[in-house]
């Protein structure tokens, strides 16, 4: 029988330190987790990034199907029993509920990684490999009204955050935020009527 996959979902603005934290957790946690991120797809050359930049293709035309495919890939990995350390940004308001529904048969632990705006802008400027302004846009949008199983602040040392995350994850409780979100989504009239 396939073991129920565990998913640790780190949610934070661009440059908040998600990858850095995910790597630290992956290095210390007592079970193997696959670190999954849009960054890996982009950096592997999967997408014809340069051609999107040049304007040969319009990203807006392909964006929704790209993310839909990414979200479905999480279900595919987890269905096969793989534990995932997911770092992701919920860029669209409906994605939290959609993902909660898609991932409802898995054990999801939802973690916020907060960072001060000034520090986000400093990191984004220093690294120079992200569109300037992404971090600020995310900062103002992505955590609004969102509930989490754990909230961390990236002003703390990454080792401390990783240790705190692992310890909170080890004593996680049900219902998790994702279980609650899936329940809420199922009880909405649009879902029950199949629309």
Ligand X SMILES: Nc1ncnc2c1ncn2[C@@H]1O[C@H](COP(=O)(O)OP(=O)(O)OP(=O)(O)O)[C@@H](O)[C@H]1O
Which spans of this chain sit near ligand X (rule: CB under 6 A)?
A: 12, 14-20, 39, 87, 123, 127, 130, 154, 158
Give the shortest CB-30-to-ligand X separation in angstroms: 22
The residue from 39, 43, 56, 129 that is catalytic is 39
**Is 13 known to sit in a ligand binding site?**
yes
- Cα–Cα distance for residue pair 23/15, rounded to 1 Å: 14
**Which of 118/171 has CB closer to ligand X?**
118
Give the shortest CB-161-to-ligand X separation in angstroms: 8
CA 117 to chain centre: 19
Give the shortest CB-27-to-ligand X separation in angstroms: 14
Q: Which of 42, 104, 30 is nearest to 67 (CA)?
A: 42
Residue nearest to ligand X (CB): 17
**Which of 97/154 has CB closer to ligand X?**
154
**Is 6 known to sit in a ligand binding site?**
no
Q: Is 39 a catalytic residue?
A: yes
Q: List the Cα angle 141/146/151 in 5-degree steps.
A: 100
DSSP letters for 5-30: PEEEEEE--TTSSHHHHHHHHHHHSS
**Four-CA torsion 114, 17, 123, 136, nearest 10 degrees:** -40
Q: What is the largest CA-CA distance in the chain?
A: 50
Instruction: Tell me the angle at which helices 177-187 and 95-102 cross, rounded to the nearest 10 degrees.
Output: 100
**Which of 23/172 has CB closer to ligand X?**
23
**Which of 20/164 has CB closer to ligand X?**
20
Give the shortest CB-7-to-ligand X separation in angstroms: 17
**Is 193 known to sit in a ligand binding site?**
no
| Residues belonging to the active site | 39
Q: Binding site: what residues are annotated?
A: 12-19
Q: Binding site for ATP: what residues are annotated?
A: 12-19
């Amino acid at each position: 029988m396939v073991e129920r996959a565990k998913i640790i979902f780190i949610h934070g603005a661009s440059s908040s330190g998600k990858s850095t934290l995910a790597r630290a957790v992956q290095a210390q946690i007592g079970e193997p987790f696959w670190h999954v991120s849009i960054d890996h797809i982009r950096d592997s050359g999967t997408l014809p990034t340069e051609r999107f930049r040049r304007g040969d293709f319009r990203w807006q035309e392909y964006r929704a199907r790209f993310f839909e495919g990414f979200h479905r890939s999480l279900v595919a990995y987890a269905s096969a029993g793989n534990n995932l350390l997911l770092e992701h940004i919920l860029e669209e308001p409906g994605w939290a509920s959609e993902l909660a529904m898609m991932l409802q048969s898995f054990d999801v632990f939802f973690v916020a990684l907060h960072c001060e705006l000034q520090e986000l802008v400093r990191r984004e400027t220093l690294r120079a490999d992200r569109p300037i302004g992404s971090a600020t846009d995310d900062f103002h949008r992505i955590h609004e009204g969102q509930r989490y199983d754990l909230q961390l602040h990236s002003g703390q040392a990454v080792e401390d955050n990783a240790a705190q995350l692992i310890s909170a994850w080890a004593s996680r409780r049900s219902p998790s935020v994702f279980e609650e979100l899936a329940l809420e989504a199922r009880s909405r009239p649009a879902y029950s009527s199949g629309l």
